[in-house]
Amino acid sequence: MIFPTVEFGIFFLIVFVISWAVRGLPEARKLFLVGASYFFYAWWDWRFLGLLFLSTLISYIAGLAVARAEREGLRKFIVGISTVSHLAILGFFKYYGFFLVSFAALLEAVGLERDLPFMQVILPIGISFFTFQGISYVVDIYRGHVTAERTLLNVTLYISFFPQLVAGPIVRAADFLPQLHRPAALTREYLGIGLVLILSGLAKKMVIANYLATELVDPVFFDPGMVSALDLLIGIYGYAVQIYCDFSGYSDIAIGVAALLGYRFLDNFNQPYRAASLQDFWRRWHISLSTWLRDYLYVPLGGNRGGEVKTYRNLFLTMFLGGIWHGAAWTFVFWGAFHGAMLAAERYMKGKLEEFAPSHTDPGGFIATIGNGARYVVGVIWTFHLVCFAWIFFRADSFSTASDYIAGFARWGDPSLYVTPFAAGLIAIAMFFQFTPARLGNWLARGVEYLPAPLLAVLFGGGIWVIWAIAPEGVAPFIYFQF
């Protein structure tokens, strides 16, 4: 069951009505939401419900054990055991085939071919997301950011709450669990923000992402060796917009649905293509993952506390592992390593520039404003193209496809097959919204939150009708479901 479908619409309507009807009984409401979330997950594949529950159980028991243990060594040991258990489950389902294939290729390369225990392992949807939430729950208890939940129900709802279950955002226990201890409330602000986010998410996904995928990106990536350089260039711009609209569209709907059920999730995207540096980009792109990696990987590795060289190493390792998290393929490994290396290089260059021309000597004034503006524009263009270059590897199904793609930039004389005014217009519209005021959504929500029910229906029902009428036929799955 994916968000932009009739099935989900019916499901949500039922969940909304019942969950608010039983709001006077908080435990019953949570139990109902857990039941609804498990039903939502079972719609994909009921066989993995046990895995979801096992992950929850590991977190719950480890959380209680960490809270009760007094010796520091024992607490660390429990956190370690819990993290290893979570990662073992994730590793088996996500990387078993990848490592075995890579290992077999390595053995073959050195002339030691062996029969290895190959088997088809199905990737449970959302496993990367609920595993990360499970790990952060136990670590946060260890760090004292959150207290261990006594009841299994709260942890179960935290791990499995359906809006974020299959593709995030990665919700932190410290943000979500306190909300379960307060009476559920649907404020006017939540109502307005929820409806605006659901509509904007549907428009991003169903109109922009789906059209760009079918009309531009998929054909260009199908055989990059056969299309012109212009197709390849606009194709990768198109993919940058497609993946943004696809994933941020999903996040918008998830945050909106949670808001209408009375829960607040933090933002997951903040106009990432207006970033003027890679560091800024990662503060705006998939924020829940980048902050997760920062807090549970970069900081434990030492962060920027161990000198310059160690900081570069930690940056690189964090992004490298972030790349692997995205998928079991060498193209994702390269994507992560590239971002890590570029982040380290950017940090180094910034340091050198600061030495050469310290910013505090800048006197300000008209010339400085022009200079800063030009620097920002150049920074945005440079960062966008670096990100686009890395997207080639993220989207390509193999290194060979990626290298064909890059080699194709020499074919500037060939006529374009896929760059239509429609595709270019979609890219332009999406890029325009990267530079609108960041609080535009809030302003729209303010306009919505006081509307009477019939007008809300015209806006919401009419909005969905327009989106469905404009969008291409059929429903494409969200890109991040595969992670």
Partner 1 sequence: MLDLMQEAEAEAVAHEAESAALREAETRASVRRLTIALVLSAMILLVFNSERLATLVNGFEVGPVQDVVVTHATAWNELMADAGLTAPSHAVRAEVNEVRQTDWAQIRRWIERERARTQEGARLLRGAVSEARG
User: Could you list the residues that contact partner 1 (CB under 8 A)?
Assistant: 5-7, 9, 13, 16-17, 20, 23, 183-188, 190-191, 211, 215, 260, 262, 420-422, 452-454, 456-458, 460-462, 464-466, 468-470
* 179: CB partners within 8 A, 6+ apart: 262, 263, 264
- Minimal distance in Å, beta carbon 23 to partner 1? 7
Q: Which of 277, 288, 271 is nearest to 322 (CA)?
A: 288
The span from the CA of 320 to the CA of 333, in Å, is 6
User: Crossing angle of helices 127-143/152-160, nearest 10°?
Assistant: 130
**Which residue, 358 or 474, is less far from partner 1 as judged by CB?**
474
- Minimal distance in Å, beta carbon 186 to partner 1? 4
**Which residue, 71 or 181, is less far from partner 1 as judged by CB?**
181
Q: Which helix (H) or strand (E) holds 454?
A: helix 453-470
**Which residue, 226 or 230, is less far from partner 1 as judged by CB?**
230
**Which residue, 121 or 464, is less far from partner 1 as judged by CB?**
464
> 229 with 409: CB under 8 angstroms?
yes
Centre a 10 Å sphere on the Cβ of residue 397 and count the other Cβ atoms it contains.
11
The span from the CA of 404 to the CA of 186, in Å, is 52
- Minimal distance in Å, beta carbon 226 to partner 1? 20
Catalytic residue flag (residue 326): yes
**Which residue, 413 or 452, is less far from partner 1 as judged by CB?**
452
The span from the CA of 162 to the CA of 313, in Å, is 37
Q: Quote the strand ranges of 370-418, DSSP E.
A: none
> 4 with 246: CB under 8 angstroms?
no
> 318 with 296: CB under 8 angstroms?
no
Q: What angle do CA 135, 140, 144 make, to 5 degrees?
A: 155
- Minimal distance in Å, beta carbon 188 to partner 1? 6
**Which residue, 184 or 380, is less far from partner 1 as judged by CB?**
184
**Which residue, 65 or 207, is less far from partner 1 as judged by CB?**
207
Q: Which helix (H) or strand (E) holds 75?
A: helix 72-109
- Minimal distance in Å, beta carbon 331 to partner 1? 31
- Minimal distance in Å, beta carbon 193 to partner 1? 12
Instruction: Give the torsion through C-alpha atoms of 174, 180, 186, 190, to 10 deg.
Output: 20
Instruction: Give the torsion through C-alpha atoms of 219, 223, 224, 228, to 10 deg.
Output: -70
3 state DSSP class of 371: helix
The span from the CA of 316 to the CA of 322, in Å, is 10
- Minimal distance in Å, beta carbon 361 to partner 1? 48
Catalytic residue among 326, 339, 360, 385: 326
- Minimal distance in Å, beta carbon 249 to partner 1? 18
Q: Which of 134, 169, 136, 161 is nearest to 59 (CA)?
A: 134
> 314 with 298: CB under 8 angstroms?
yes
**Which residue, 178 or 306, is less far from partner 1 as judged by CB?**
178
Centre a 10 Å sphere on the Cβ of residue 112 and count the other Cβ atoms it contains.
8
- Catalytically active residues are 326
